[in-house]
Amino acid sequence: MRKNILEWSLMKEMIETTTNLYRLGWDERNGGNISILLDEQELSRYLDVTCVLRKIPIDFDASKLARHYLLVTGSGKYFKNIKKSPEESLGIIRINETGTELDILWGFSNEGFPTSELPTHLMSHIARKKVDTTHRVVMHNHATHLLAMSFTHELSEKAMTKTLWKMCTECLVVFPEGIGIIPWLVPGTNEIGEITAEKLKEVRLVLWPFHGIYGTGKNLDDVFGLIETAEKAAEVYTYVKSQGGIMQEMTDEQLKKLAKQFKVIPRKGYI
């Protein structure tokens, strides 16, 4: 007897996390998207994976994810409504043997589709899996203060990283590799996917100027915590600027001491 998929702890966590993200104001309307790589055996306790509902073509080479299963948010769906209608707002997909097509196995009811950012998600999973065997989650949202900083702060990765590190003592410990930044690009395209994935070879956070943030990690809490920490730093930056600017801050020497204490290696050449 298969268990009810809505009782799966991962599904419950997805619903809880997306609801939280909506409450934080980072996923207005249909903004933001999440995908999670699933374990086939675990999934099989809840779903007959031989039963394919629909097939959708993929227009880039996703063969490195062949036979992989993912839980994905739906295109045009509102995070606000995921809790109320998970089967319409979310879906479970499998990439086929050749990486040219995906099978919809559950969800996306009412003829829905996976997120418009699926190319970026799949390319990001490919890039992160290569450098981190524990990698499983990609999350994109429109975190307010990080997005605002893309208008007011120099768009250099080193300068942005150092500003964020210095806004909260914890930041360097949480993302010692820093933050990546891409140029402004049209969302939903293979191009933005390729450029984001290239950055993700070295960092887990990528800022999309005038749009939002991409984060990756080993589970939902891990990615949420990563974005939340950078976003908090960006919020502090906003207050600091509005209080008249920086009067004093942590020095590079202090950042080095912090890295030593917490045994993290800061991005080379940054401090």
Q: What are the residues binding Zn ion (CB under 5 A)?
A: 212
Among 5, 21, 26, 33, binds ligand 2HA (CB under 6 A): 33
- What dihedral do alpha carbons 244, 253, 260, 245 form, nearest 10°? 0
Are the beta carbons of 11 and 86 closer than 8 angstroms? yes
Which of these segments, 114-122, 127-135, 213-221, 240-248, binds ligand 2HA (CB under 6 A)?
Answer: 114-122
When CB distances are held under 5 to 8 angstroms depending on the partner's kind, the choice from ligand 2HA, Zn ion, none that residue 33 binds is ligand 2HA
Which of these segments, 26-34, 80-88, 126-134, 150-158, binds ligand 2HA (CB under 6 A)?
Answer: 26-34
225 near ligand 2HA, judged by CB under 6 A: no
31 near ligand 2HA, judged by CB under 6 A: yes
* Residue (of 126, 132, 134, 144) closest to 27 by Cα position: 144
Beta-strand relationship, 180-181 and 205-208? parallel
Q: How far apart are CA 269 and CA 120, in angstroms?
A: 28
Nearby residues of 244 by Cβ (< 8 Å), 6 or more positions away: none
When CB distances are held under 5 to 8 angstroms depending on the partner's kind, the choice from Zn ion, ligand 2HA, none that residue 153 binds is none
Contacts of ligand 2HA in 185-204 (CB under 6 A):
187
Q: How many residues bind ligand 2HA (CB under 6 A)?
A: 9
Q: What DSSP string runs through 27-93?
A: S-TT--EEEEEE-HHHHHTT--TT---EEEE-SS--GGGTT-EEEEEBTT--GGGTTT-HHHHEEEE
Q: Which is nearer to Zn ion, 53 or 185 (CB)?
A: 185
CB-based closest residue to ligand 2HA: 187
* Active centre residues (catalytic): 117
User: What is the distance in angstroms between the CA of the first residue and the CA of the last residue of the chain?
Assistant: 57
Q: Which is nearer to ligand 2HA, 31 or 225 (CB)?
A: 31
Binding site for ligand 2HA (CB under 6 A): 30-33, 115-117, 140, 187
